Amino acid sequence: MVERLNAEDREAALALLPGWVHDKAVDSIARDFRFKDFSTAFAFMAQVAMLAEKAGHHPDWSNSYNRVRIALSTHDAGGLSEKDIALALEIDRLMP
Ligand SMILES: C[C@H](O)[C@H](O)[C@H]1CNC2=NC(N)=NC(=O)C2=N1
Residue to mutate (ligand 1; options 4, 28, 53, 58; most atoms within 8 A of CB): 58
1: pLDDT strictly greater than 90:
no
- The residues, any chain, with a CB within 8 Å of residue 17's CB and separated by 6 or more, are 29, 31, 85, 88, 89, 92
CA 40: distance to chain centroid? 18
Q: What is the pLDDT of residue 46?
A: 98
Residue 87 has a CB neighbour count (10 Å cut-off) of: 22
Best of 1, 2, 76 for a ligand 1 pocket test (most atoms within 8 Å of beta carbon): 76
Are 88 and 72 in contact, with CB atoms under 8 Å apart? yes
ipTM score: 0.91
Mean pLDDT, rounded, of the chain: 97
Asked if residue 40 lies in contact with residue 66, where contact means CB atoms within 8 angstroms, the answer is yes
For 11-53, what is each residue's pLDDT tens digit? 999 999 999 999 999 999 999 999 999 999 999 999 999 999 9
Q: Does domain 7-93 have CATH number 2.30.31.70?
A: no
